[in-house]
Structure 1
């Protein structure tokens, strides 16, 4: 994998992870909600107008473009497993930004993901 291909794949992963974090920040701003017939429009409007949610959706759009460029250069059997790096980014970012628990079990899972991505990238 050449540097440009790696950049496209990692940029796609990073944008996707960033999108998830922004969506979480937007839903945190709205608070816990239930979609019911009575509140689907007000809650939907509140969600649709949250800047972090708008930013998260924009990150998704850009990540798809970057991902398509990456897929034009890298086999999907190599590129797709790289998406799992997003789990690692999100686990640490959620711990840092949202105070989510980063347990030993999660850390072991992250280690397993890293080993898997390394093995796939070397094949």
Structure 2
């Protein structure tokens, strides 16, 4: 895989990870979102659609999809798709560091397995 193609994939993956983290930050601002009738569907949609972190996360998704489409035009999906796992690794560490989520030994072992798998698949 060319370095430029890997960079394209990596940028798309990192933007996808940023989107997930932004959506999580947005839900922290909004609190628990339920469909329990306390808010009408229009009010709920307005609150979600105007939350800055959520809007930013959705924007990251849009750009990441454009990059992903460009990457898929250059490399097999069997090579590109496993690279999405890099996003899990990035998100796990950022969620642990900045959001206080647990990073247990079992999760660290899983992250290690993911990283080894990505390296193996990228060389194939």
Gapped runs of 5+ residues in structure 1? none
Report the count of equivalent residues. Answer: 123
Q: CA deviation at 1:3?
A: 1.3
For the residue of structure 2 that corresponds to 1:44, the secondary structure is: helix
Please, what TM-score do these two structures have when normalized by structure 1?
0.96
Paired with 2:109 and 2:38, the residues of 1 have a C-alpha distance of 44
Paired with 1:75 and 1:85, the residues of 2 have a C-alpha distance of 17
Q: Which residue of structure 2 lines up, in the alignment, with residue 41 of structure 1? A: 42
Paired with 1:18 and 1:105, the residues of 2 have a C-alpha distance of 24
Q: CA deviation at 1:38?
A: 4.6
Q: Which residue of structure 2 lines up, in the alignment, with residue 62 of structure 1? A: 63
Paired with 1:98 and 1:24, the residues of 2 have a C-alpha distance of 9
Paired with 1:21 and 1:99, the residues of 2 have a C-alpha distance of 13
Q: CA deviation at 1:37?
A: 4.1
Q: CA deviation at 1:74?
A: 0.9
CA deviation digits over 1:30-71, x for unaligned, max 9?
011311345132222111111110000000000000001111
Does 1:6 find its partner at 2:1?
A: no
**Mean CA deviation greater in 90-99 or 34-43:** 34-43
Please, what TM-score do these two structures have when normalized by structure 2?
0.95
Could you say what the CA RMSD is over the residues aligned between the two structures, in angstroms?
Answer: 1.0
**Mean CA deviation greater in 27-36 or 64-73:** 27-36
For the residue of structure 2 that corresponds to 1:84, the secondary structure is: helix
Does 1:84 find its partner at 2:85?
A: yes
Paired with 1:19 and 1:33, the residues of 2 have a C-alpha distance of 18
